[in-house]
């Protein structure tokens, strides 16, 4: 045989189909009462033609389905990419809105302060080490020098302790080396606010004869000349008179959330004239 055995039936069916189509076309050209052979051929070829037509229809439907799925997958990828872009845009606009809100608060703070000031961004935090400090992006080129008060819209952050041309290090008020002259807003009792880490302060040298309550607001007194008078420092968390000694143990919580600090304002004041 010229053809492999597995193709013989297909080839024979195709030959018969071609012969049938030739006879049928001949009958169309000369319309007359069909004879027995033509009827037999028509009867035999009709199911075969139907099967072939069904196969072609099935293949066509499968191809159309394939093209549809390919188009659907491409559209799905496009929509996912567009969705990711829109989510990124929303995050960017939200971040811009939040930054604008923070800067607006700092602007209002600068307008309400009687001293020249400059805003700065926090570019590094070093609160896990022994010294609790932050690094800001302003230095001597912007008029910053050692010892200037640093504040946020909620209250005092600390003071500058080291400067370069375009950066400065700020000692936070929670650091144990930080000491700020302070007073209780209501009673006007004065003391020293000292950092006690990791996130709090202690109000020192308050006599046990004084009445200090949780919730009392602590302000800068302005006596040492480092910080202007009346800046917010924190709120009394608790006052304990049970310890032996002359003074109370007073825990103070700073008003500024130092863990979330992103922008600050430096007060460009003269040490000899803090008011």
d(CA 263, CA 130): 23
What is the percentage of the chain residues whose pLDDT exceeds 90?
39
Instruction: Please say whether the beta carbons of 236 and 216 come within 8 A.
Output: yes
The three-state secondary structure class of 1 is coil
Q: CA 269 from chain center: how many Å?
A: 36
d(CA 206, CA 137): 37
- Domain that includes residue 27, residue range: 5-64
In a domain, 27, yes or no: yes
Name 160's Cβ contacts closer than 8 Å, sequence gap at least 6.
144, 145, 146, 147, 148, 150, 168, 169, 170, 171, 266
> How many other C-beta atoms can be found within 10 angstroms of the C-beta atom of residue 4?
8
In a domain, 195, yes or no: yes
pLDDT band at 24 (very low <50, low <70, confident <90, very high): low
Lowest mean pLDDT among 145-154, 161-170, 222-231: 222-231
Tell me the per-residue pLDDT of 118-162, one tens digit each, with 9 for 90 and over.
Answer: 889 899 987 666 779 999 999 999 999 999 999 988 899 999 999
Predicted model pTM = 0.64
In a domain, 146, yes or no: no
Average pLDDT over residues 3-28: 58
In a domain, 105, yes or no: no
In a domain, 75, yes or no: no
In a domain, 89, yes or no: no
In a domain, 211, yes or no: yes
pLDDT of residue 29: 47
| CA dihedral (147, 152, 155, 158) positive or negative | negative
Give the residue from 41, 64, 87 where a domain finishes.
Answer: 64
Tell me the per-residue pLDDT of 55-114, one tens digit each, with 9 for 90 and over.
Answer: 556 666 777 777 777 777 777 887 778 777 777 777 777 767 666 666 676 666 666 677
- For residue 262, say if its preceding peptide bond is cis, omega within 30 degrees of 0: no
Average pLDDT over residues 243-261: 90
In a domain, 28, yes or no: yes
Give the residue from 39, 64, 89 where a domain finishes.
Answer: 64
Two tokens, residue 242: 């049970």
Task: Tell me how many domains the chain contains.
Answer: 2
Give, in order, the Cα–Cα distances in Å from 37 to each of 13, 50, 84: 18, 20, 70
Give the residue from 35, 64, 93 where a domain finishes.
Answer: 64
The enclosing domain of 189 has a CATH number of: 2.40.10.350
């Amino acid at each position: 045989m010229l053809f492999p055995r597995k193709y013989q039936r297909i080839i024979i069916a195709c030959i018969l189909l071609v012969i049938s189509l030739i006879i049928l076309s001949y009958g169309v050209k000369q319309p007359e009462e069909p004879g027995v052979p033509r009827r037999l051929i028509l009867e035999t070829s009709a199911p075969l033609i139907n099967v072939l037509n069904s196969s072609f229809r099935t293949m066509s439907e499968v191809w159309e389905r394939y093209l549809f799925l390919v188009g659907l997958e491409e559209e799905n990828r496009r929509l996912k990419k567009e969705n990711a872009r829109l989510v990124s845009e929303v995050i960017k606009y939200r971040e811009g809105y939040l930054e604008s809100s923070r800067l607006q608060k700092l602007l209002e703070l600068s307008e309400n302060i009687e001293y020249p000031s400059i805003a700065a961004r926090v570019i590094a935090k070093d609160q896990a080490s022994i010294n609790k400090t932050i690094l800001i992006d302003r230095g001597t080129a912007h008029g910053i020098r050692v010892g200037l008060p640093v504040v946020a819209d909620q209250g005092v952050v600390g003071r500058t302790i080291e400067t370069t041309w375009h950066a400065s290090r700020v000692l936070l008020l929670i650091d144990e080396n930080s000491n700020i002259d302070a007073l209780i807003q209501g009673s006007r009792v004065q003391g020293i606010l000292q950092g006690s880490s990791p996130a709090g302060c202690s109000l020192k040298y308050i006599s046990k004869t004084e009445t200090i309550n949780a919730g009392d607001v602590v302000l800068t007194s302005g006596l040492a000349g480092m910080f202007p008078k009346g800046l917010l420092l924190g709120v009394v968390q608790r006052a304990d008179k049970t310890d032996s000694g002359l003074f109370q143990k007073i825990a103070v919580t700073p008003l500024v959330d130092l863990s979330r600090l992103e922008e600050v304002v430096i007060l460009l004041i003269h040490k000899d004239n803090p008011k």
